[in-house]
Structure 1
């Protein structure tokens, strides 16, 4: 496309400049210069107002800082928090067929409430057998006591016989000695002396027999006492078996040890269960919140500090509680496979530390259970 060039007439090119055009050009420059002068002289012209404005700005900054320190900085919060409880399984301690299930799924029960019953007939028979063994042991103890009495009487009789034979022996000794003296002096006969010696030997034998009878009677009494001790041990064993049988009979009734809810109920009537087999899970009423804070959030966190909580499932319920304790260590340190940081490719990661939070009053119109998400806000510094 051809360019169009404007041709200026020679008379216009040679015409002298107009003074009015020069004034119009210099007027904006002067106005701008005047404004710059006014701006530069504002502080000089109004020093008091400028100082007051600076003071107001500083005071506003300080106020903002205190508002942030009082109403925002004192709080530590996390979304890694959950309702926690010491849940456990309800298991049978004895085997047998379930005769009754007295609860249903997610039912709340009081302490001591019956949850299930196992058919008790076999264990009632075991209790009867144990009671019979106890009675048998008691009878054995009574028999042994009677034997001891008989043996004691026999010992007394043998000792009396021993005393009698001892007196006869002493008389026979004296008589034999007298006859020997008479025979030596010529006043006695040989036949009489021999008869006295024979009586002495008979008395000695009778005394020895009496002593043996005493020993035998004492041994019989010792044996009777041993039988009594054995019967007493059998009685203790029978009583222990009876107690065990009674406990097993009591174990046929499963009861709640504390108030809570029965969840994941798997047992049913007619089902055979082994000892130790779980039939349900139990969630106690005592629950709390485990909040996993970052370790950088724990500088000012202490037990007893107030906490505001909201449950994700029920956001309209605002709960209040307090910090109960801070775990002395990160969560990974107590895991089944803790992290091994002694490696060359170490990358520092901010750890999480579990904090136990106790709630003052849980809502009663909704179901609260372990694993539910909670958002806690801990006031780590006073607001006043």
Structure 2
């Protein structure tokens, strides 16, 4: 009994010496959320009907309207800007003594590009002037020879008349027996000589007249010899002028970096190029299906990659004679068993109408072309026929 009491007493002491436990935190009960009311089934069905039928119908109607009213503007990005390129060459051969241009320089029509040594051509012109003077002098000599031939003819005619009278007198005296027959023969011989000299004089007149071009009163500068000399003189003067080469049009010099003073050039040899800024056009390659309503004279807009957002006005100038494949070096042969139809492209030339734009653009630039054909797609033919039948 004592042992049990001691154990109970020790347990009570240990329980009193142990630290007190913290009080438990109060438990908070979350408020319950009332459930949302369930939508009626009719509203769900209306929304589904709107999504499944009304919205697709609206999209189809809008797309159909866009398709029917579209097709008026035909566009292609397969286009490049082109400018005329002229090869500059000298009409005369010689050594370059003056160069007034450099590569990529802008020039105007009539500006001096370069000059060839003119001295040999000045000498040739002086020789041609001397030849003209000699030809004119020759014509005056021919005219004098013609006058001399006329005078000789008159003299010979007088001599023939005198010899004829002498012969008639001798024949009369010989008939009367007063004069000897030898005197008659001598008079006849003199008459024959006079007639022969007259014939020679007449032939001299014909020759002198032919030398004057058949017209004794011809102007000196109208004579063929003088005209030939004048033509040679004009050629020499032309060659002298051509020693100074000028720009044939407004443009930009290209490929002239190696063109220097002292270089010897031949006649007609290309030296460098001039890109004409005043002659600018666009070659656009449209699909053959886009050319149904396209005609020359229609308005167009051009956009180049160099100036994004800026448009240039243009006009359809001409439509190509055939597709690019028709004019290729090796045309496609379609007479094979594995032929596949491919949409072809036909070049269309458009002319820029803005003069200021021509100076800002450069040949070879990529462009986007939009042509206003003025004709929309409209309803397909089957719908048009059906509508016409209902109207009847």
Q: Give the TM-score range, shorter chain.
A: 0.7 to 0.9
More deviation, 358-367/212-221: 358-367
- 1:364 and 1:172 map into 2 onto residues whose CA distance is 104
CA displacement at 1:282 relative to structure 2: 1.2
Structure 2 partner of 1:208: 192
TM-score by length of 1: 0.75
In the TM superposition, what are the counterparts of 1:322-337 in structure 2 within 5 Å? 322-337=315-330
Poorly superposed stretches of 4+, deviation over 6 Å: 39-42, 54-60
Structure 2 partner of 1:321: 314
In the TM superposition, what are the counterparts of 1:293-304 in structure 2 within 5 Å? 293-304=286-297
Kindly indicate whether residue 171 of structure 2 is the aligned counterpart of residue 173 of structure 1. Answer: yes
CA displacement at 1:353 relative to structure 2: 0.8
- 1:318 and 1:237 map into 2 onto residues whose CA distance is 58
For structure 1, which runs of at least 5 residues remain unmatched after alignment? 1-30, 43-49, 181-191
Structure 2 partner of 1:308: 301
Kindly indicate whether residue 140 of structure 2 is the aligned counterpart of residue 142 of structure 1. Answer: yes
CA displacement at 1:157 relative to structure 2: 0.3
Kindly indicate whether residue 288 of structure 2 is the aligned counterpart of residue 290 of structure 1. Answer: no
Contact 1:317 1:363 in 2 (8 A): no
Contact 2:280 2:358 in 1 (8 A): no
CA gap 1:125/1:206 in 2 versus in 1, 3 angstroms: same
CA gap 1:113/1:40 in 2 versus in 1, 3 angstroms: closer
Structure 2 partner of 1:339: 332
Deviations 1:289-319 (A, max 9, x none): 1101111221222222221221101114221
Root-mean-square deviation (CA, aligned residues, Å) is 3.3
Deviations 1:140-193 (A, max 9, x none): 22112211211211111000110121122222222222x14xxxxxxxxxxx3x
For structure 2, which runs of at least 5 residues remain unmatched after alignment? 1-37, 215-219, 379-392
Structure 2 partner of 1:238: 229
Structure 1 partner of 2:255: 264
CA gap 1:307/1:39 in 2 versus in 1, 3 angstroms: same
More deviation, 363-372/123-132: 363-372
Aligned residue pairs total 328
CA displacement at 1:62 relative to structure 2: 4.1
CA displacement at 1:371 relative to structure 2: 0.5
1:357 aligned residue (350, 363, 366): 350
TM-score by length of 2: 0.74
**Tell me, what secondary structure is at the counterpart of 1:328?**
coil
2:129 aligned residue (111, 128, 131): 131
